[in-house]
Amino acid sequence: CHGCEVVGPHAYPFGGQNERGASCGDLYVLKISGFGAWSRRIPSGPPVKPRSHHTSSLVDSKMFIIGGVTDATLTEDVSVLNISLLSWSHIKPRGSFTPRQDHTSETWGSEILVFGGRDSAGVAMNDLTKLDTTARQWFTIIPNGPSPSARYGHSSAVVEDGMLIIGGTNGEGLFLNDVHVFRPSVDAWEQLQCTGTAPSPRAFHSTCVVKDK
């Protein structure tokens, strides 16, 4: 339940939860090439509170940390790591965004699409919100087509023409293995009717895209 982004030959994992259940606030850098090498970094700028169950998204060379759990409380805040300068900053976007955890976020151009998660009452959500990182403003998207059911612990990935949402749980004992795609060009959801043998219903997994798969 940490975030991680890759820039060039380096990966930048941030936050998460340790073996004692406490949230972490440290930043590490993993040099991917060769045999791999870890180093801990302390960026300049105002520190970011330890957190877990957040998301990270990369826009240009900036890693946006969105939401999650800090001090046992859900947050809606947005922190930005400038990887080129290795410095933190905090932004307060205009507009409305509900504090949440176990959501997903994906970069689409200069925007970040955030879907689902669970709120402070533990209730699963299925809203779709975008952060315009240039204007520093949240926008609620009212999509065409039926939205995926409320869920958290799902996975997401960007494909050629949209954002995939796979699986998750509704928090009431139902685990999912359905696949949906949101296409920003038409602001529309579509549930994919996939052939073949689907994975068993699950939550808190991960998904990545390699070429067309």
Task: List pLDDT tens digits, range 165-207.
Answer: 999 999 999 999 999 999 999 999 999 999 999 999 999 999 9
How confident is the model at residue 211, as a pLDDT?
86
- pLDDT tens digits for range 46-95: 999 999 999 999 999 999 999 999 988 999 999 999 999 999 999 999 99
Q: Assess contact for 54 and 101: CB atoms under 8 A.
A: yes
Q: Alpha carbon of 151 to those of 33, 83, 93, 102, 155: distances in Å?
A: 36, 31, 25, 9, 10
Dihedral through CA 70, CA 71, CA 73, CA 79, nearest 10? -20
Question: Nearest to residue 126, comparing CAs of 137, 114, 138?
Answer: 114
Mean pLDDT confidence for 119-137: 97
Average confidence score pLDDT of the chain: 96
Q: pLDDT at residue 35 above 90? A: no
Q: Assess contact for 104 and 111: CB atoms under 8 A.
A: no
Question: Nearest to residue 97, comparing CAs of 56, 64, 139, 125?
Answer: 139
